[in-house]
A and B are shown apart, each in its own frame.
Chain A
Amino acid sequence: MEGDLLRLEKVTFRHRMSDPSRLKPWRTRPGPGVHSITLSLRPGEILGLVGPNGAGKTTLLRTIAGVLPIQNGKIMLSSNAKKAQVDSDSLRSIVGHMPEQVRWQGRQSVEDALLELAEMRGASAKRVDGLLRLVGLSQRATAHLSDLSQGMRQRLTLAAALLGSPKFLLLDEPLNGLDPVAATAFVQLLHELKSKGVSIIISSHQVEGLEAITDRIALMHRGQLLAHGTLAEIADSLELQPSIMVAGPGELPDLSWCEHRVESPSPQDTWAIRLDHSGVDLLPKFIERGIEVHSWNPKSPGIVELLCAATGMNIEEVGLEITSTAMLPHKSVGGEEE
């Protein structure tokens, strides 16, 4: 597909943290953020940004959106065989940014709020009308912002991100607050934009839903990019095997002959087991031994498993590690973390 390629090369941004001393109460030091992120966004691709709370997803999106400055590294834009470094000002004109959970409020009308942003971007009133129709808010154009539901606010934020027909779209938790119908329509809209060559980065906690939407995944943890690629590529790089969920009636049969058994959850009156193997040649062995099998479901490693494997932590450690110290980059990036 033709289009522009955005490439991040060792992009770093770290927030300043208060670190007062007796003589310098105003002293700060580098705190959490993103460290040395190298990543490319291909034309017409949807990239999923995945990581636990405090992984640096929002900071990375803000840096790409030109809202936060790039402290180290650079962002390159390849367009028509030309490659050039882009600064924050240039980024803002080609990137549409949808921040997380914008709480629109006040007596301003929906249309006026969008027109105000449109003027800042040089978009026309006609474009605003079109976007309100696109996100399903044309009937609420004259409503006050305070009267909008959370889902409608999300739609308005999306419309704001689409002002100026951006080539790159950054969506921070876009599905939050959307009902299932709106979420489905939203995903369809993303695919439409993708078919028009818009490259999209989605950050979301709803990792299971992301698998179906995205072309590639980028795993983030503690401000660093752990892995990126398709699910299969990442699974390969982490040496994660596909598994099979096998279930049958009664008690768990003798499976000592099977080397690839991983775990055996045992609900009442049934047995179930996960086999750590592609398993094509295993089914005949089950049949040969007369083991009754109700279901045989091959399963690729999910995002959560990839994240656990990439960080070397179990799911509780990854999910609940949200303290500020945990947000500091894992690798040594300067004296202050040593």
Chain B
Amino acid sequence: MLIMLPILVLFLPGMAWGFSDPNIVLPGGHQPDQPMEVMFYASLGVVFGATMCGVLLAFDGVSRDRASGVFELRLAQPMPRTHQAIALMLGMWQAIFIPVAVLSLVSVAIIRWRLGEWASVWDVMIYLTATALILFWYVVFTLLASSRTKDQGTAIAFGIGMWFLFTFLWALFTTMVAYASGVAIGEQNDAQWIALEGSLDLLSPNGVYHHLLETRIPEIERGVPAWQSWTMAVIWTLIPSSFFVRRMNTLQP
């Protein structure tokens, strides 16, 4: 965690500092001037930095103890395996979420200092909830990978590969689907492209994360109602978790 802390500081308060600069001009000439808008742009730090730290924390959550034999001792305890699975998910998740939440609150204070305006309590609550969820998703995916692999190299390769897919390759996937559907690619004023990108984003944890944040920014309209974003958030939470619980119930030392 000590190694990851500088990365998190750079990505979270650092981005909040940069995007709240009164003189900043984003591509397209846009100047964010609302606290929630700045937090939305600064959430790139969560997508690029915090999720990667979550993967790095959880990649050996199962495989290390399994390889060392400690996992067999845990499985031999009377605590139900379902409870063990839930404890493992929540434990790993809080290990990354607590520092991220603290740094996010620091970011809110930085934005207040730079823009002279506080983000609303509701904005901060949604931001923290969405951040908590995306970190949970990545931790659970990584734990699932860790429970499938018997060596740590494969576990970390799987975790980082999945992070890479949703963080970088998803844009490629979206482009391919758009090309196959005959939609103009990357045209920001094309309603078809915006709708397609918004819909496909529901299938990616990073996309759902941004949809959740967009529920607090009326200026961004991608044709995905809030209920759909929250429903997908619940699905992204429940399905991998139940897979992991099932996996733990059948896992052998």
- A67 x B69 contact (CB < 8 A): no
Contacts known (A66-B76, A67-B76, A97-B76); A120 close to B70, Cβ less than 8 A: no
* In the complex, per-residue mask of A89-104: 1 if CB is within 8 Å of any chain B CB, else 0: 1001101110111111
* In the complex, per-residue mask of B66-82: 1 if CB is within 8 Å of any chain A CB, else 0: 01111011111111100
Tell me, rounded to whole Å, the shortest Cβ–Cβ distance linking A163 to chain B.
8
- B84 x A120 contact (CB < 8 A): yes
- A160 x B73 contact (CB < 8 A): yes
Contacts known (A67-B252, A68-B252, A121-B77); A104 close to B70, Cβ less than 8 A: yes
Tell me, rounded to whole Å, the shortest Cβ–Cβ distance linking A94 to chain B.
9
Interface residues of B in 172-217 (CB under 8 A from A): none
- Tell me which residues across on chain A come within 8 A of B79, comparing CB atoms: 120-121
Interface residues of A in 132-171 (CB under 8 A from B): 157, 160-161, 164
- A67 x B68 contact (CB < 8 A): no
Cα distance A95–B73 when bound, in Å? 12
Cα distance A62–B76 when bound, in Å? 8
- A102 x B70 contact (CB < 8 A): yes
- Tell me which residues across on chain B come within 8 A of A102, comparing CB atoms: 68-70, 72-73
- A120 x B78 contact (CB < 8 A): yes
Verify if A273 is at the interface (C-beta below 8 Å from B): no
Cα distance A105–B71 when bound, in Å? 12
Verify if B253 is at the interface (C-beta below 8 Å from A): yes
For A102, A103, A120, the residue with the greatest tally of chain B CB atoms inside 10 Å of its CB is A120
Cα distance A230–B81 when bound, in Å? 38
Closest to A97 in B: B76
- A105 x B68 contact (CB < 8 A): yes
Cα distance A92–B64 when bound, in Å? 23
- B72 x A92 contact (CB < 8 A): no
The bracket for how many chain B residues form the interface is 10 to 19
- B68 x A120 contact (CB < 8 A): no
- A104 x B68 contact (CB < 8 A): yes
Closest to A160 in B: B73
Closest to B77 in A: A120
- Tell me which residues across on chain A come within 8 A of B69, comparing CB atoms: 99-103
- B75 x A67 contact (CB < 8 A): yes
Verify if A65 is at the interface (C-beta below 8 Å from B): yes
Tell me, rounded to whole Å, the shortest Cβ–Cβ distance linking A122 to chain B.
8
Q: Identify B78's interface contact among A62, A68, A121, CB under 8 A.
A: A121
- B70 x A95 contact (CB < 8 A): no
Interface residues of A in 98-140 (CB under 8 A from B): 99-105, 117, 120-122
- Tell me which residues across on chain A come within 8 A of B70, comparing CB atoms: 102-104
Cα distance A117–B80 when bound, in Å? 13
- Tell me which residues across on chain A come within 8 A of B76, comparing CB atoms: 65-67, 92, 95-97, 99
Cα distance A122–B80 when bound, in Å? 12
Cα distance A100–B252 when bound, in Å? 15
Tell me, rounded to whole Å, the shortest Cβ–Cβ distance linking A168 to chain B.
12
Cα distance A235–B17 when bound, in Å? 82
- Tell me which residues across on chain B come within 8 A of A92, comparing CB atoms: 76-78
Cα distance A66–B72 when bound, in Å? 10
- B68 x A93 contact (CB < 8 A): no
- A67 x B78 contact (CB < 8 A): no
Cα distance A67–B70 when bound, in Å? 13
Tell me, rounded to whole Å, the shortest Cβ–Cβ distance linking B248 to chain A.
13
Cα distance A62–B252 when bound, in Å? 10
Tell me, rounded to whole Å, the shortest Cβ–Cβ distance linking A32 to chain B.
13
- B84 x A67 contact (CB < 8 A): no
Cα distance A157–B73 when bound, in Å? 8
- A117 x B73 contact (CB < 8 A): yes
Tell me, rounded to whole Å, the shortest Cβ–Cβ distance linking A242 to chain B.
40
* In the complex, per-residue mask of A80-95: 1 if CB is within 8 Å of any chain B CB, else 0: 0000000001001101
Tell me, rounded to whole Å, the shortest Cβ–Cβ distance linking A131 to chain B.
14
Tell me, rounded to whole Å, the shortest Cβ–Cβ distance linking A12 to chain B.
15
For B72, B77, B79, the residue with the greatest tally of chain A CB atoms inside 10 Å of its CB is B77
Closest to A157 in B: B73
- Tell me which residues across on chain A come within 8 A of B252, comparing CB atoms: 15, 67-68
Closest to B78 in A: A93
Apart from A97-B73, A121-B77, A160-B73, 5 more pairs, CB < 8 Å: A92-B78, A97-B76, A103-B70, A157-B73, A164-B78
Show 16 residue pairs from A and B whose CB-CB distance is below 8 angstroms, ordered by the A residue.
A62-B72, A67-B252, A89-B78, A95-B76, A96-B76, A97-B73, A99-B73, A100-B69, A103-B67, A103-B70, A104-B68, A105-B68, A117-B73, A120-B74, A120-B77, A161-B73
